[in-house]
Amino acid sequence: MSDQFDNTNRGAVWKNDKKESDRHPDFKGSINIEGKEYWLSGWKRKEGGHPNSPALSLSVQPKEEPQQVTDTNNAPAKDDFEDLIPF
């Protein structure tokens, strides 16, 4: 039996302890959609809100992929900025 779980197409949210205003989400977490990771934010219906309004509104934002570091050891020694400076 494997200790690895397949979290594809699954996500979870937790209470946002850092909420400072009504615009901040009530819940924060992450979700995996078809193998890609996303941040997940949720806002619960305001007290006294219309009963037909959603109980929870969600926002999904892609997690930023880390920028690739280029190997400069094999780059030419020429300074590309040299031609751009007029003096």
Backbone phi, psi, residue 80, to 5°: -65, -25
Q: Tell me what pLDDT residue 64 has.
A: 83
Q: What is the pTM of this model?
A: 0.65
Q: Supply the pLDDT for residue 4.
A: 82
Query: Shortest CA distance to 46 belongs to which of 26, 29, 27, 28?
Result: 26
pLDDT digits (tens, 9 = 90+) for 34-82: 999 999 999 999 999 999 999 999 999 999 865 555 555 555 555 555 5
Q: How many CA atoms lie within 13 A of 20 on its CB side?
A: 1
Question: Does residue 1 surpass a pLDDT of 60?
Answer: no
Going by pLDDT thresholds of 50, 70 and 90, the confidence category of residue 13 is: very high
